[in-house]
Amino acid sequence: MEFRFSTIASGSSGNCIYMGTKKTHWLIDAGISGKKVERGLKKLDVDPKQLNGIFITHEHLDHIKGVGVLARRYRLPIYATPLTWSAIENSSSVGEIPQECKLIIQRDQEMVLDDIIVQSYGIPHDAVDPIAYNFYKNNKKISIATDLGHITESIKENLYQSNLILLEANHDIDMLEVGSYPYFLKQRILGDYGHLCNEVAAKMITKLYHPKLETVILGHLSQENNFPALAYQTVYNELTLSDIPLSSKFQLKVAEREGVTDIYYV
């Protein structure tokens, strides 16, 4: 086992992911309150003082809400791109972040941090400089890709040969189209810089499948325009059509919108 992985929250109202090794503990985004992050970490038997840092994907509030509190309370290194840092600094919801906590990661950069390798890459979303992440340790790879307006060749290449993938399955198109959202918001979500639907996520997973893919977690589900069972069934049906069976060696899961999901070992 190289990695422990769990989601503390994964949805349109807040996102926070935990990823750790035997030596280190990391968060990807902190879009919920600091107290909720601390409660989630406690359920994972992780003391927030043990955290090595937080990787930020982009500046939308559902990904950064608790970053300021955690940075000030624990003096955590926070990694974000220069443009994302500028946007965070202009956000009145985060508060002041100590200068020593502000660390830079560039798009398409690879870094060695403690016992992991971190690789960032650009994604299509309506933020100033959104990125997703791959994490490597020895022969294991974890990939996190949410807030995707569409799938690009770069995304396919970055998700290739992963052992665990957290992939966005934000909405069901029919539910979104007949739902209560205003027209402009529906267009934003459906656009090339919005969010990924169940159907596209399903097709992507069948293309990414390989014998060493152990776990796929569907994340960032909309509370208004999706159901966990619907997202799961959509992907399950596509896997079945492609003759890809679920088994003890390949599992499909759905992340909780609020609350800690199971710990997955990779």
Q: CB of 134 within 8 A of CB of 121?
A: yes
Output the six-digit token pair for 223.
Answer: 């509370």
Q: Which of 181, 155, 185, 182 is nearest to 168 (CA)?
A: 155
Q: Which of 228, 236, 220, 56 is nearest to 148 (CA)?
A: 220
Q: Say what the pTM is.
A: 0.96
Q: CB of 8 within 8 A of CB of 17?
A: yes
Tally Cβ neighbours within 10 Å of residue 184: 8
**Per-residue pLDDT tens digits for 157-201:** 999 999 999 999 999 999 999 999 999 999 999 999 999 999 999
Q: The domain that contains 49 carries what CATH number? A: 3.60.15.10
Output the six-digit token pair for 262.
Answer: 């199971």
**Per-residue pLDDT tens digits for 136-164:** 999 999 999 999 999 999 999 999 999 99
Query: Which residues form the domain of 196?
Result: 4-265
The kind and range of the H/E element at 156 are helix 153-159
SS3 of 97, please? coil
pLDDT at residue 92 in the model: 84
CA distance 254 to 220: 9
Give 10-residue mean pLDDT values along the chain (266 residues). Answer: 96 95 97 97 96 98 97 97 96 91 96 97 98 97 98 97 98 96 96 98 98 98 96 98 96 95 95
CA distance 31 to 112: 25
Number of domains, the chain:
1
How are strands ordered across the β-sheet holding 14-20? Answer: 102-104, 78-80, 53-55, 25-30, 14-20, 4-11, 264-265
